[in-house]
Amino acid sequence: MLGGLLAAGCAALVVGAGAGAGAYTYVNGELARTYTAPYARTMDVCTQLLKDLGMPIKAQHSDGVQTTIESERKDGTPTTLKVTIIGLDLTEVSVRTGAVGYWNRDLSVQLQEFIAQRLQP
Protein backbone atom coordinates (compact mmCIF):
# COMPACT_ATOMS: atom_id res chain seq x y z
CA MET A 1 0.00 0.00 0.00
CA LEU A 2 2.84 2.38 0.88
CA GLY A 3 4.40 1.72 -2.54
CA GLY A 4 1.15 2.70 -4.23
CA LEU A 5 0.97 5.93 -2.26
CA LEU A 6 4.58 6.76 -3.08
CA ALA A 7 4.01 6.03 -6.75
CA ALA A 8 0.90 8.21 -6.80
CA GLY A 9 2.80 11.00 -5.05
CA CYS A 10 5.66 10.78 -7.53
CA ALA A 11 3.28 10.90 -10.48
CA ALA A 12 1.58 13.96 -9.05
CA LEU A 13 4.97 15.59 -8.55
CA VAL A 14 6.00 14.91 -12.14
CA VAL A 15 2.70 16.25 -13.48
CA GLY A 16 2.89 19.31 -11.21
CA ALA A 17 6.43 20.02 -12.37
CA GLY A 18 5.32 19.65 -15.99
CA ALA A 19 3.96 23.16 -16.24
CA GLY A 20 7.36 24.72 -15.68
CA ALA A 21 9.72 21.98 -16.78
CA GLY A 22 8.14 20.95 -20.07
CA ALA A 23 7.49 17.40 -18.88
CA TYR A 24 4.98 15.14 -20.56
CA THR A 25 2.37 12.78 -19.24
CA TYR A 26 1.44 9.78 -21.37
CA VAL A 27 -1.89 8.15 -20.62
CA ASN A 28 -3.98 5.89 -22.88
CA GLY A 29 -2.07 6.93 -25.98
CA GLU A 30 -2.35 10.67 -25.32
CA LEU A 31 0.83 12.65 -24.77
CA ALA A 32 -0.07 15.75 -22.74
CA ARG A 33 1.99 18.82 -21.94
CA THR A 34 1.07 22.06 -20.17
CA TYR A 35 2.19 25.35 -21.72
CA THR A 36 2.44 28.83 -20.27
CA ALA A 37 0.40 30.41 -23.04
CA PRO A 38 -3.16 31.70 -23.43
CA TYR A 39 -5.72 29.39 -25.01
CA ALA A 40 -6.24 31.53 -28.14
CA ARG A 41 -2.51 31.65 -28.90
CA THR A 42 -2.14 27.91 -28.33
CA MET A 43 -5.06 27.20 -30.65
CA ASP A 44 -3.54 29.44 -33.33
CA VAL A 45 -0.19 27.65 -33.03
CA CYS A 46 -1.79 24.19 -33.23
CA THR A 47 -3.96 24.96 -36.26
CA GLN A 48 -1.13 26.74 -38.09
CA LEU A 49 1.26 23.87 -37.34
CA LEU A 50 -1.14 21.34 -38.84
CA LYS A 51 -1.54 23.55 -41.91
CA ASP A 52 2.23 23.95 -42.28
CA LEU A 53 2.70 20.18 -42.03
CA GLY A 54 0.06 19.55 -44.70
CA MET A 55 -2.24 17.85 -42.19
CA PRO A 56 -5.85 18.76 -43.01
CA ILE A 57 -8.30 19.41 -40.20
CA LYS A 58 -10.99 16.74 -40.62
CA ALA A 59 -13.13 17.84 -37.66
CA GLN A 60 -12.99 20.38 -34.86
CA HIS A 61 -15.33 20.75 -31.91
CA SER A 62 -15.28 22.63 -28.63
CA ASP A 63 -17.19 22.57 -25.37
CA GLY A 64 -15.92 26.00 -24.27
CA VAL A 65 -13.09 24.60 -22.14
CA GLN A 66 -11.54 22.08 -24.50
CA THR A 67 -11.22 21.98 -28.28
CA THR A 68 -10.58 18.71 -30.09
CA ILE A 69 -8.96 18.83 -33.53
CA GLU A 70 -8.99 15.69 -35.66
CA SER A 71 -6.47 15.51 -38.48
CA GLU A 72 -4.30 13.00 -40.29
CA ARG A 73 -0.73 12.77 -41.47
CA LYS A 74 0.09 12.53 -45.18
CA ASP A 75 0.38 8.74 -44.82
CA GLY A 76 -3.19 8.58 -43.46
CA THR A 77 -2.23 8.13 -39.80
CA PRO A 78 -4.95 9.71 -37.65
CA THR A 79 -3.86 12.50 -35.28
CA THR A 80 -5.92 14.17 -32.57
CA LEU A 81 -5.00 17.31 -30.65
CA LYS A 82 -6.93 18.43 -27.58
CA VAL A 83 -6.34 21.98 -26.36
CA THR A 84 -7.67 22.56 -22.84
CA ILE A 85 -7.89 25.76 -20.81
CA ILE A 86 -6.11 25.21 -17.49
CA GLY A 87 -5.90 28.84 -16.37
CA LEU A 88 -5.64 32.38 -17.69
CA ASP A 89 -2.23 31.82 -19.28
CA LEU A 90 -2.02 28.02 -19.02
CA THR A 91 -3.16 25.50 -21.59
CA GLU A 92 -2.71 21.78 -21.92
CA VAL A 93 -2.21 20.15 -25.30
CA SER A 94 -2.78 16.41 -25.66
CA VAL A 95 -1.62 14.69 -28.83
CA ARG A 96 -2.61 11.21 -29.97
CA THR A 97 -1.03 9.90 -33.16
CA GLY A 98 -2.15 6.58 -34.60
CA ALA A 99 -5.17 4.33 -34.43
CA VAL A 100 -6.50 2.97 -31.13
CA GLY A 101 -4.10 0.31 -29.91
CA TYR A 102 -1.36 1.43 -32.32
CA TRP A 103 -0.37 4.80 -30.93
CA ASN A 104 2.92 6.28 -32.06
CA ARG A 105 4.47 8.05 -29.10
CA ASP A 106 7.47 9.29 -31.11
CA LEU A 107 5.28 11.17 -33.58
CA SER A 108 3.28 12.67 -30.71
CA VAL A 109 6.52 13.83 -29.04
CA GLN A 110 7.61 15.40 -32.32
CA LEU A 111 4.36 17.38 -32.61
CA GLN A 112 4.65 18.52 -28.99
CA GLU A 113 8.20 19.74 -29.64
CA PHE A 114 7.02 21.72 -32.67
CA ILE A 115 4.25 23.29 -30.56
CA ALA A 116 6.70 24.13 -27.77
CA GLN A 117 9.07 25.83 -30.22
CA ARG A 118 6.31 27.97 -31.67
CA LEU A 119 4.97 28.97 -28.25
CA GLN A 120 8.33 30.25 -27.03
CA PRO A 121 8.27 34.00 -26.33
pLDDT of residue 31: 94
Architecture of the domain whose range is 2-119: 2-Layer Sandwich (3.30)
**Domain boundaries along the sequence of the chain:** 2-119
- 82-116, pLDDT tens digit by residue? 999 999 999 999 999 998 778 899 999 999 999 99
Task: Bin 11: left if φ > 0, else alpha if -120 < ψ < 50, else beta.
Answer: alpha
Q: Per-10-residue mean pLDDT for the chain, 121 residues long?
A: 35 37 74 96 97 96 96 94 96 92 89 95 78
Neighbours of 22 (CB within 10 A): 14
pLDDT of residue 22: 62
